[in-house]
Amino acid sequence: MPEWLYGRHAVEEVLRAGRRKVFRVLLAEAGQESKSGRGERLVEIEELAKRAGAQIERVPAARLDALTRVGHHHQGVAAEVTPFKYATLAETVQLCREAGSHALVLILDSLQDPQNFGTLLRSSEAAGVTAIVMLDRRQVEVTPAVANASAGAVEHLQICLANNLPRAIQELQEASLWVYALQAEPDAVLYTQADLRGPLGLVVGSEGKGVGRLVRERCDGALQIPMLGKIESLNAAVAGSIVLYEALRQRTDDSR
Amino acid sequence: MPEWLYGRHAVEEVLRAGRRKVFRVLLAEAGQESKSGRGERLVEIEELAKRAGAQIERVPAARLDALTRVGHHHQGVAAEVTPFKYATLAETVQLCREAGSHALVLILDSLQDPQNFGTLLRSSEAAGVTAIVMLDRRQVEVTPAVANASAGAVEHLQICLANNLPRAIQELQEASLWVYALQAEPDAVLYTQADLRGPLGLVVGSEGKGVGRLVRERCDGALQIPMLGKIESLNAAVAGSIVLYEALRQRTDDSR
């Protein structure tokens, strides 16, 4: 079943990555390209779409409004594409073995909010993660809304759906990853005091409930982020991004 | 004009902080407390509301639905409160002088998205910022949606509306702050390589356009976050949070 991606970044990156087949690209007619947008970006997308062999149609903006849901900003562009293709756990473990000490895997335990999910994927791609592993049920999937919130980052990521998260973590550990849960708890280590160099997995839990008990028990330890104010926790996507970038800092800091 | 805050964290923190007058707290009738919620939290809120002298009413969930906009989750609770009170620039400068070398100010240049704004306020509160300074036009204000997205963090923050951002930055500089723009540009320094100890201001720009030219010219330098993938930028709230937490790391790291 094809699906409709929308938004300039999402459509541009699906064309650049070339992993999904792009059947059709719909562009808003001149003058209806959404006031927030930049005209040159649509021209660039049209060029990429041509090279990808996609059918290109200029349509009234109202047609794009009807394709996407209320509150989802298409910015004058949508693309009909094949569904997102997930990686298998075996492929993911293999990628980690190839990455060696650079392996960096984000593991998502029941993240619920598509906006948070997309934001965290965007950070993951920027921080150079090897792969994402997530549960194949009770969780957001890579929908068009997620592709949009990720600014198209999903198109460049390896994302694996696991049917048993503790077992998947075990397989990653057998491939030499040290796996931390991001979770405030009495034994948690400050994230800046942990050694995040070497093959690493980081588990981010759901917005309300954190990391599940069975998943936590399978991890090698827990990390926490200092909270200096009165609020209990950070936004889940922000927390995950901060630790991913701390890992990147430690890995690239020559002075250590 | 009183306004209606909604959501458990937003209402709990407005009561805890005690800075706004809380006239009424509406709680969903038993059994209608929203399935995602935890009953004990409503009991806690009821207790706080009593102590604050607010009028407490049990109402059908439909009444709460009607008070808040579509897609805004009230989680079974809303509170009628006085509007958010902003700090003046003079007060903010004074707070910075008192904070001395610990002064840490987040400066927002035309951030547009209430969700991003709230998320960044939540991170700011957790990272212990002294104050937030933002432009008083063309920008999101501290609306109930922002209070909600911040998990109530706004109630504990000093937020200043400035009518001229370059001038406000200049006043902060005169109070000894070193002010960086978070902006990818040829002369930008990697955020991990800059010295972020000492009195510091950090400017975060709008989601699409970054930091404005006049604001950028007033800054002492620019910081950038490494982007290892194909995507151009991080979510604005994530980017700001990463740099705030790097500042906190440098300020608390004994080994430097």
Please report the residues numbered 17 through 36 in chain B whose beta carbons come closer than 8 angstroms to any beta carbon of chain A: 17, 36
Chain A residues lying within 8 Å of B208, measured CB to CB: 36
Q: Return the residue of A nearest to B240 by Cα.
A: A238
pLDDT band at B254 (very low <50, low <70, confident <90, very high): low
Q: B127 vs chain A: nearest CA distance in angstroms?
A: 6
Chain B residues lying within 8 Å of A115, measured CB to CB: 115
| Phi and psi torsions of A10, nearest 5° | -60, -45
Judged against a pLDDT cut of 90, whether residue A155 lies above it is answered with yes
B126 touches chain A (CB under 8 A): yes
Give A5's contacts (C-beta < 8 A, 6+ positions apart): A11, A14, A78, A79, A81, A144, A147, A148
Whether B230 and A36 lie within 8 Å, measured CB to CB: no
Chain B residues lying within 8 Å of A210, measured CB to CB: none
**Lowest mean per-residue pLDDT among A207-216, B101-110, B124-133:** A207-216
A249 touches chain B (CB under 8 A): yes
pLDDT band at A205 (very low <50, low <70, confident <90, very high): very high
Q: Return the residue of A nearest to B248 by Cα.
A: A226
Whether B156 and A226 lie within 8 Å, measured CB to CB: no
Amino acid at A150: S
Average pLDDT over residues B194-210: 93
**pLDDT score, position A36:** 47
Chain B residues lying within 8 Å of A248, measured CB to CB: 226, 228
**pLDDT score, position B70:** 59
pLDDT band at A138 (very low <50, low <70, confident <90, very high): low
**Percent of chain A residues past pLDDT 70, beyond the cut:** 93
Q: B128 vs chain A: nearest CA distance in angstroms?
A: 5
**pLDDT score, position A186:** 93
**pLDDT score, position B36:** 47
Whether B234 and A123 lie within 8 Å, measured CB to CB: yes
**pLDDT score, position A34:** 55
pLDDT band at A206 (very low <50, low <70, confident <90, very high): confident
Chain A residues lying within 8 Å of B248, measured CB to CB: 226, 228
ipTM rounded to 2 decimals: 0.94
Whether B229 and A36 lie within 8 Å, measured CB to CB: no
pTM of the complete model beyond 0.90: yes
**pLDDT score, position A29:** 86
Whether B237 and A238 lie within 8 Å, measured CB to CB: yes
**pLDDT score, position B140:** 73
What's the rounded Cα separation, in Å, for the pair A148 and A138? 21
pLDDT digit string (tens) for A16-39?
999 999 999 999 987 766 554 556
Instruction: Select from B185, B172, B252, B152 the least CA-distant residue to B218.
Output: B172
Q: B50 vs chain A: nearest CA distance in angstroms?
A: 21
Q: Return the residue of B nearest to A207 by Cα.
A: B36
pLDDT digit string (tens) for B48-78?
999 999 999 999 988 898 887 755 688 899 9
What's the rounded Cα separation, in Å, for the pair A189 and A145? 35
pLDDT band at A141 (very low <50, low <70, confident <90, very high): confident
**Lowest mean per-residue pLDDT among A62-71, A174-183, A207-216, B121-130:** A62-71
The number of beta carbons lying within 10 Å of the beta carbon of residue B186 is: 6
Torsion of CA A102, A107, A112, A115, to 10 degrees: 0
Q: Return the residue of B nearest to A17 by Cα.
A: B230
